[in-house]
């Protein structure tokens, strides 16, 4: 429906049928008189059309002059609806109450549009906003966007910038991730050295900037200087530069995992229950009579949003799935305990040794105090270099302080 159709409906219009000797003359005269006759169409010696309610009487007078009979087919619009229902006081009161209710509901925030980031999920952002007062059903006049932004950023600590814009009943939350030094790792501009962060034997060096101190095959210990940021020139001078590069060494890592031979474990018993709740305008209503015990049950919650025209509506469905768990006595054989320890080692290698190249792994397993102990000794190749900044600022400040002390001493000697 176009804006013109809405305007015509508000003003009201009459759809008519003109019949007689020359119904076309009626249309011509109405246009000359400035009457807004539209949607005209002729068929079988009759002409149909529409005219605004306020101009229908003038059209009837023209019809008498032309000898044309005008018959009303139907009436549409707000004025006619009011005329037909003006004596229904309940309907008028209901319309007034509806208008007041709509105005009252616009004083709340119902829709919160959140843009998640790669480091923080949408759920975490929504929970943090809720902790500081911004949630579906919040009173709009009680919200202070600046305070919400500041407190949410302090709580999450992962944003460099946040914006909360409230327009009508919709709150638009836009976030930008905090700058992380790891994003520009290797692009150092301050003078620095590269030192060893653990013991090892150097097998490969890839130095892009700085002066190499260690050589291939050297055995180094933690804290040894590998690449220096103090570079000597051919003329005999020195200058400071950032040390950029990687130093790979063969290292040894030892990891021990344990697995009890007998223990208690909670396992699903097979009993399952589910309940759903409808949240509307901040109020939760149960959708059923399901009872959920919490003593020995583990629950998972699912939230379903209603989306209309790309916007999240203030109507949600919460589904809660509960599974009963019972304790069981578990006893393992040595082979089963060994497999469990191998699985734990696989997780350790995947998460803690993903930047290492494992050359060799030696395993040793034994049972101690009803516990299977598996010790793994790794021989790896990894980058053992870490940045150590050269204290240029501290040195400059010390030098300036020494110069001031020397100047003060000289003045004192001159006075004496």
pLDDT averaged over the chain?
82
pTM above 0.85, yes or no: no
Two tokens at 101? Answer: 């209710």
**With 50 as the cut, is the pLDDT of residue 261 above it?**
yes
The domain defined by 108-177 carries CATH number 3.10.20.310: yes
Q: Distances in Å between the alpha carbon of 415 and those of 400, 402, 405, 407, 408? A: 23, 20, 15, 12, 11
* Beta-bridge mates of residue 300: 321
CA dist 379 and 363 (Å) reads 12
For residue 396, name the pLDDT band (cuts at 50, 70, 90): very low
Please tell me the least confidently modeled range out of 52-56, 88-92, 393-397: 393-397
Distance of CA 399 to the CA centre of its chain: 50
For residue 406, name the pLDDT band (cuts at 50, 70, 90): very low
CA dist 292 and 229 (Å) reads 65
**With 90 as the cut, is the pLDDT of residue 252 above it?**
yes
Return the residue matching tokens 């966007």.
Answer: 145
CA dist 374 and 361 (Å) reads 12
Instruction: State mean pLDDT over 45-59.
Output: 89
Please tell me the least confidently modeled range out of 10-14, 162-166, 289-293: 289-293
Q: CB within 8 A of 317, min separation 6: which ones?
A: 276, 277, 278, 279, 287, 303, 304
Query: Given this structure, which CATH class describes domain 3-83?
Result: alpha beta
Instruction: State mean pLDDT over 117-122.
Output: 78
**With 70 as the cut, is the pLDDT of residue 218 above it?**
yes
* pLDDT confidence of residue 312: 61
Q: CB within 8 A of 350, min separation 6: which ones?
A: none
For residue 401, name the pLDDT band (cuts at 50, 70, 90): very low
Return the residue matching tokens 């829709």.
Answer: 111
CA dist 243 and 264 (Å) reads 54
**With 90 as the cut, is the pLDDT of residue 108 above it?**
no
CA dihedral 79, 80, 84, 88 (to 10 degrees): -30
Burial 183-210 (b: 16+ CB within 10 A, else e): eeeeebeebbbbbbbeebebeebebeeb
* pLDDT confidence of residue 338: 94
> Are the CB atoms for 268 and 323 separated by under 8 Å?
yes
* pLDDT confidence of residue 180: 54
- Orientation angle between helical segments 3-11 and 78-85, nearest 10 degrees: 30
Beta pairing, strands 297-308 & 68-76: unpaired
Instruction: State mean pLDDT over 70-88.
Output: 84
**With 50 as the cut, is the pLDDT of residue 403 above it?**
no
> Are the CB atoms for 22 and 14 separated by under 8 Å?
no
For residue 344, name the pLDDT band (cuts at 50, 70, 90): very high
342 vs 23, more confident: 342
CA dist 283 and 262 (Å) reads 48
> Are the CB atoms for 264 and 256 separated by under 8 Å?
no
Backbone angles phi, psi at 135, to 5 degrees: -155, 170
Two tokens at 252? Answer: 């040894």
Two tokens at 91? Answer: 């309907």
Two tokens at 288? Answer: 């059923």
């Amino acid at each position: 429906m176009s804006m013109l159709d809405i305007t015509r409906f508000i003003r009201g219009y009459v759809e008519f049928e003109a019949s007689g000797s020359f119904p076309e003359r009626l249309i011509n005269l109405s246009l000359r008189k400035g009457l807004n006759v539209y949607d005209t169409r002729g068929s079988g010696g009759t002409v149909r059309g529409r005219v605004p309610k306020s101009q229908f009487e003038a059209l009837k007078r023209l019809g008498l002059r032309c000898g044309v009979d005008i018959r009303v087919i139907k009436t549409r619009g707000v004025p006619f609806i009011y005329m037909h229902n003006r004596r229904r006081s309940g309907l008028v009161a209901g319309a007034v109450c509806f208008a007041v209710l709509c105005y009252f509901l616009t004083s709340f925030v119902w829709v919160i549009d959140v843009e998640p980031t790669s480091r923080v999920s949408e759920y975490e952002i929504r929970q943090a906003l809720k902790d500081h007062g911004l949630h579906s059903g919040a009173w709009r006049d009680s919200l202070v966007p600046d305070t919400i932004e500041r407190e949410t950023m302090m709580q999450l600590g992962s944003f460099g910038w946040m914006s909360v814009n409230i327009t009508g009943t919709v709150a638009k939350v836009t976030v930008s991730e905090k700058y992380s030094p790891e994003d520009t790792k290797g692009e150092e501009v301050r003078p620095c050295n590269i030192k060893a962060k653990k013991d090892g034997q150097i097998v490969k060096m890839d130095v892009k900037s700085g002066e190499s101190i260690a050589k291939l095959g050297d055995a180094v210990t933690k804290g040894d200087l590998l690449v220096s940021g103090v570079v000597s020139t051919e003329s005999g001078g020195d200058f400071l530069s950032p040390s950029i590069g990687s130093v790979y060494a063969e290292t040894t890592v030892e990891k021990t995992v344990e697995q009890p031979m007998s223990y208690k474990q909670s396992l699903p018993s097979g009993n399952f229950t589910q309940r759903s709740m409808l949240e509307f305008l901040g109020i939760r209503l149960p959708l059923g009579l399901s009872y959920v015990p919490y003593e020995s049950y583990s629950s998972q919650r699912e939230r379903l949003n209603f989306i209309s025209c790309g916007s999240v509506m203030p109507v949600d469905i919460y589904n809660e799935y509960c599974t009963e768990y019972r304790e069981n006595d578990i006893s393992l054989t040595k082979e089963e305990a060994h497999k469990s320890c191998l699985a734990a080692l696989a997780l350790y290698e995947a998460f803690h040794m993903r930047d290492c190249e494992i050359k060799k792994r030696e395993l040793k397993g034994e049972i101690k105090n009803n516990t299977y102990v598996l010790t793994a000794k790794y021989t790896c190749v990894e980058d053992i270099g870490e940045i150590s900044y050269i204290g240029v600022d501290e040195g400059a400040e010390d030098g300036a302080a020494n110069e001031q002390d020397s100047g003060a001493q000289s003045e004192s000697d001159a006075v004496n």
